[in-house]
């Protein structure tokens, strides 16, 4: 629970970055009545258990073991050498360099959508980390923790033009903006570090939920004061009118019932992480389709959180009519990298290759009397190009 970690963190000194990695080690001496040698974590924990006076007699003042280990900044940082992150956009945006890891790619060495979503989450949290606003919750600011508030995502849209490959170096930019009166928009861009080509773009909307009542909340003034200086008016995806996603019913073509959240699906907010929802959605699409197609875009509308004891049903329905007329397709096309090859129809990427396929999705909790919606989704797909060695 974020509320359990509400103490502000005081550091004896902030991190300094002198153009190189920070190599200092903290020598932990907890128990003033004991010897001065470096203690093990067991001893630290033991000391904390034994007596509260021991826990406060550290050379770091009121630092807990957790605070020593995490070292969450209390002041805005411009560079974090460990996270390979830096503040950009005139002081309010964040850029992180990451290498695509071996376990983030599938059998064809391309990063999975899940990996991209995980990297979005990670860079978003590191952005808050750098801001000095982070309490010890899942991206919650000090003001949010004082009000028992956590972030919940209400909408997420991702467009993938190219999938990064194993070992590739990426730059991920992220920034935030206002969304209505009580929400926050967060956008991302993923670029190839080697070429500067944009691989993927994403936008999301976040609102606050009371951690105890699990009800959505207005944004308190003190939280607005914390985060609004970071807002900028810039969009990764230009979408004039968000498409309405229809609600599927039991007539949906593909249904996967009795999905059970696993312990490993729960995140620090003690509910199923939204990235796991995407896995359930995509697993409901027939293998045969997945083998020959590549996801180019996804829109998710989150309605309700899902706990560890819920039983989940995943429904999906392919579009019958594949004409490119509705909102999402239009906006996808608008944001596609329209290369001269496509524009001029010179043969290597003909009109057929641009044809996109759509699926509508629904995840719901199976109740005794009625079902409750967790998330509605739309996915767009393109045929894999066999000539692209990394289409997966």
Q: Can you name the residues that pair with 266 across neighbouring β-strands?
A: 272
d(CA 40, CA 33): 16
For a second copy, the closer of residues 82 and 222 by Cβ is 82
Spatial CA neighbour of 188 closest among 180, 198, 197: 198
Other beta carbons less than 10 A from residue 115's beta carbon: 19
Residue 305 CB, nearest approach to a second copy (Å): 13
Residue 295 CB, nearest approach to a second copy (Å): 12
Under 8 Å between Cβ of 72 and 129: yes
d(CA 73, CA 76): 7
d(CA 85, CA 312): 37
For a second copy, the closer of residues 224 and 270 by Cβ is 270
Angle (nearest 5°) at CA 342 between 341 and 344? 70
Terminal CA-CA length for the chain: 38
Under 8 Å between Cβ of 297 and 332: yes
Angle (nearest 5°) at CA 184 between 179 and 187? 100
For a second copy, the closer of residues 246 and 388 by Cβ is 388
For a second copy, the closer of residues 228 and 339 by Cβ is 339
Spatial CA neighbour of 113 closest among 162, 171, 168: 162
Residue 146 CB, nearest approach to a second copy (Å): 20
List the catalytic residue out of 126, 148, 162, 306: 306
Residue 264 CB, nearest approach to a second copy (Å): 6
Secondary structure (3-state) at 170: strand
- Whether 147 sits among the annotated catalytic residues: the reply is no
Residue 279 CB, nearest approach to a second copy (Å): 7
- Whether 271 sits among the annotated catalytic residues: the reply is yes
- Whether 7 sits among the annotated catalytic residues: the reply is no
d(CA 171, CA 96): 6
List the catalytic residue out of 269, 273, 316, 361: 269
Residue 75 CB, nearest approach to a second copy (Å): 16
Q: Can you name the residues that pair with 359 across neighbouring β-strands?
A: 318, 379
Helix (H) or strand (E) holding 148, with range, is none
Other beta carbons less than 10 A from residue 179's beta carbon: 18
For a second copy, the closer of residues 41 and 246 by Cβ is 41
Catalytic residues: 269, 271, 306
């Amino acid at each position: 629970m974020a509320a359990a970690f509400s103490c502000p963190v005081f550091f004896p000194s902030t991190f300094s970055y002198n153009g190189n990695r920070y190599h200092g080690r903290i020598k932990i001496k907890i128990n003033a009545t004991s010897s001065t040698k470096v203690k093990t974590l067991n001893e630290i924990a033991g000391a904390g258990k034994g007596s509260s006076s021991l826990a406060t007699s550290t050379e770091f003042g009121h630092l807990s073991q957790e605070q020593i280990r995490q070292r969450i900044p209390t002041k805005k940082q411009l560079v974090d050498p460990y996270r390979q992150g830096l503040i950009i956009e005139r002081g309010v945006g964040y850029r992180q360099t990451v290498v695509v890891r071996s376990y983030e790619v599938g059998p064809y060495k391309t990063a999975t959508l899940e990996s991209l979503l995980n990297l979005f989450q990670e860079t978003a949290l590191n952005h808050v980390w750098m801001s000095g606003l982070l309490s010890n919750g899942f991206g919650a600011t000090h003001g949010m923790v004082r009000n028992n508030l956590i972030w919940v995502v209400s909408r997420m849209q991702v467009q993938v033009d190219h999938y990064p490959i194993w070992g590739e170096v990426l730059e991920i930019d992220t920034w935030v903006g206002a969304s209505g009166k009580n929400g926050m928009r967060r956008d991302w861009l993923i670029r190839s570090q080697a070429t500067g080509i944009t691989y993927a773009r994403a936008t999301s909307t976040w609102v606050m939920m009371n951690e105890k009542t699990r009800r959505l909340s207005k944004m308190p003034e003190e939280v607005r004061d914390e985060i609004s200086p970071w807002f900028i008016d810039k969009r990764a995806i230009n979408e004039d009118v968000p498409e309405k996603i229809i609600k599927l019913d039991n007539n949906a073509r593909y249904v996967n019932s009795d999905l059970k959240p696993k312990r490993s699906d729960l995140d620090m907010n003690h509910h199923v992480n939204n990235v796991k929802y995407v896995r359930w959605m995509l697993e409901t699409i027939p293998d045969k389709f997945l083998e020959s197609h590549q996801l180019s875009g996804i829109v998710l509308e989150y309605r309700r959180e899902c706990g560890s004891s819920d039983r989940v049903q995943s429904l999906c329905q392919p579009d019958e009519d594949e004409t490119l007329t509705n909102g999402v397709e239009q906006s996808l096309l608008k944001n596609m990298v329209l290369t001269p090859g496509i524009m001029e129809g010179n043969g290597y990427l003909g009109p057929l290759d641009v044809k996109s396929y759509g699926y509508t999705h629904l995840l719901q909790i199976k109740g005794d009397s009625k079902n409750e919606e967790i998330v509605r989704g739309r996915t767009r797909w393109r045929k894999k190009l066999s000539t692209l060695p990394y289409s997966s």
